[in-house]
Amino acid sequence: MADIPESWKVPPPKAWKLSTPEELVKDVDHRPLSLLGLEKGWMRTAPDVEIKPGMHCHAALPKRLETVDMPNPRQWSAMDEDWKLPRNWKEIILEGFKDRLGRFRSFQLFMDICVRCGACADKCHYFIGSADPKNMPVLRAELLRSIYRKYFTTAGKLLGPIAGARELTLDVLREWWYYLYQCTECRRCSVFCPYGIDTAEITMMGRELTNLLGLNIDWIAAPVAFCYRTGNHMGIQPHAYKDMIEFFLDEIENVTGVRMSPTFNRKGAEILFITPSGDVFGDPGTYTCMGYLMLFHELGLDVTWSTYASEGGNFGFFTSNEMMKRLNAKMYAEAKRLGVKWILGGECGHMWRVINQYMGTMNLDIAEGSKLEEPVSPITGTKFENTKSTKMVHITEFTADLIRHNKLKLDPSRNDHLKVTFHDSCNTSRGMGLFEEPRYIIKNVCNHFYDMPAGTIREQTFCCGGGSGLNAGEDMELRMRGGLPRANAVKYVHEKYGVNKLACICAIDRAVLPNLMEYFVPEVDVTGLHEMVANAMILEGEKEKTVDLRGEPLPGREESE
């Protein structure tokens, strides 16, 4: 083969070198590091840690941070040499570190007790998809631990690198930022740690610290700012929220011939329904949203939507403890204002981690004096004892209970063209143990269900690759790498059983998985669970259905010409 003349080269950003094929297949990227940390390897930063495009998200715009009074708003970019940090940035970080060690017992513990056994090392989807050792959970945690040792332990102060300690430098900070925003806080690694160390929580602490310097990403900061102003991530105002849902009513009527009439902000309703705004504004979540509407209508449920608590999601959770609490407050505040008895929540992942793990203790004072009580299904009489503290029921718990009590007329053959598999969202599985309800529903609304292989589902489920605010467009390579293990398991059931639908119960999944599928398994499409429920449901007074909610023909019921 002829060599390309040197002068033809488009110079890439870094120094260009003409390689021979032999050189190309030599080791491309050797960064010696050791789990023991005795060699300097993992402590080395620049030039090893190079912030690459496609692997990180855009920096937060100053106006987002200003909206919620977060410190150090400014225009900056991760690709710039100068991050325009405050002069005393190091003190800020170390102060913040100390403060958090004192406030969060788990943080202190996780800094101390890791024995570097390596059990977590190959469990992270970003490591699995990239083979970049710095994506091993244990090394992600070492980012912070090495600083902890240097500034907060005697051994680290005295022995430095030998004790696995390192100086906090600008390069270390860059490395922190790069790899803390390559963790989706999915907690898969924690399932395998014999000590129960939750690297996701270490990432959360690390992100809190970067936030002290104004180093958030816009894909998190923008939804936070919007949510704070208008109640939802998209910054949609109340009238548009209502319009959008009314627009769905037309679509549902076209398909089913039945007109629904949901209510908004209705005082005295029994139940308040809150769902991620992604269901209202982003395909394919919108079809799931139509599913909720149809279900509520068919049951005659005394439920109201809120244009104020118009977001179930909470990107404050990816920002800081305080921001999560602040944005979550509207749920109980609205429940109290409307005087509802309990709250029903739509299909979402991280929303449920916040609700299930934190809301009951974090914001319960807001609910004081409200009419909230232990949720009881008005249709079946089932008491949702598991939600006694939060007063909020996941819609798959609610619907599974309906099906169990035979309260829905279902014709699963309407979904006969679907061969379905189910993606457990990280948060509903590892954050609340919701494994059976979704599967029970799926098996009742369609006839062909195939689980993915063990080790890729339930508590060991793989992340979609875009959780915790990393589902931006600019970090597509990161998303695809991280999504590889998930896509790989879907591909397997696609090839083995002909699976063509990937069902999920998370709004972020519904935004992220379609792209992941398009890249790795284009034959598979993504759906929410309640879209399938609605398509199988026989509505009172419905017309002869020929198409599903997406307007696609139902098997065997195509309109006769």
Write out the residues near other proteins by the rule CB under 8 A: 1, 12, 19, 21-22, 24-34, 41, 52, 54, 121-122, 127-133, 243-244, 247, 281-283, 286, 453, 455-456, 473-474, 476-477, 480-481, 484-485, 488-489, 492, 511, 514-515, 518-520, 522
Residues 197-216 within binding reach of ligand SF4 (CB under 6 A) = 197, 199-200, 203
Name which of ligand SF4, other proteins, none residue 427 binds, using a CB cut-off of 5 to 8 Å depending on partner kind: none
User: Which of 120, 144, 110 is CA-nearest to residue 42?
Assistant: 144
Q: Which is nearer to ligand SF4, 111 or 309 (CB)?
A: 111
What character string, x for contact with ligand SF4 (CB under 6 A) and - otherwise, covers 100-129?
A: --------------xxxxxxx--xx-x---
Partner whose binding site includes residue 264, from ligand SF4, other proteins, none (CB under 5 to 8 Å by kind): none
Listed in order, strand segments (DSSP E) in 341-404 are 342-345, 392-394
- 292: closest CA among 275, 271, 308? 275
CB of 142 closer than 8 Å to CB of 164: yes
Q: Which does 476 bind (CB under 5 to 8 A by kind): other proteins, ligand SF4, none?
A: other proteins
Binding residue for ligand SF4 (CB under 6 A) from 184, 210, 319, 461? 184
* Cα gap 331→309, rounded to integer Å: 6
Q: Quick count: other Cβ atoms within 10 Å of Cβ 81?
A: 6
The size of the interface with ligand SF4 (CB under 6 A), counted in residues, is: 27
DSSP 217: B
140 binds, among ligand SF4, other proteins, none (CB under 5 to 8 A by kind): ligand SF4
Residue 104 near which of other proteins, ligand SF4, none (CB within 5-8 Å, type-dependent): none
470 token code pair = 């990393």
Angle at 335 between CA 330 and CA 338, to 5 degrees: 120
Q: Provide the minimum distance between the beta carbon of 193 and other proteins in the complex, in angstroms, as a whole number.
A: 16
Strands (E), 130-281: 271-274
SS3 (DSSP) at 270: coil
Query: CA dist 440 to 196, 529, 532, Å?
Result: 30, 11, 13
Query: What's the length of the chain?
Result: 561
433 binds, among other proteins, ligand SF4, none (CB under 5 to 8 A by kind): none
Q: Which stretch binds ligand SF4 (CB under 6 A): 135-143, 378-386, 483-491, 506-514?
A: 135-143
57 near ligand SF4, judged by CB under 6 A? no
Enumerate the β-bridge partners of residue 392.
343
In the list other proteins, ligand SF4, none, the entry touching 119 (Cβ below 5 to 8 angstroms by class) is ligand SF4
- Answer whether 474's CB lies under 8 Å from 225's CB: no
How many CB atoms neighbour CB 50 within 10 A? 11
Measured from the CB of residue 131, what is the shortest distance to other proteins in angstroms?
4
What does the buried/exposed string (b/e) look like for 227-250 if buried means 16 or more CB atoms within 10 Å of the residue's CB? bbebbbbbbbebebbbebbeebbe
First to last CA, the chain: 60
Look at residue 29 and give the partner it binds from ligand SF4, other proteins, none, a contact being a CB closer than 5 to 8 Å depending on partner kind: other proteins
Smallest separation (angstroms) from ligand SF4 to the CB of 145: 10
Residue 66 or 283 having the CB closest to other proteins: 283
Q: Residue numbers of the site for ligand SF4 (CB under 6 A)?
A: 114-120, 123-124, 126, 137-138, 140, 183-189, 192-193, 195, 197, 199-200, 203
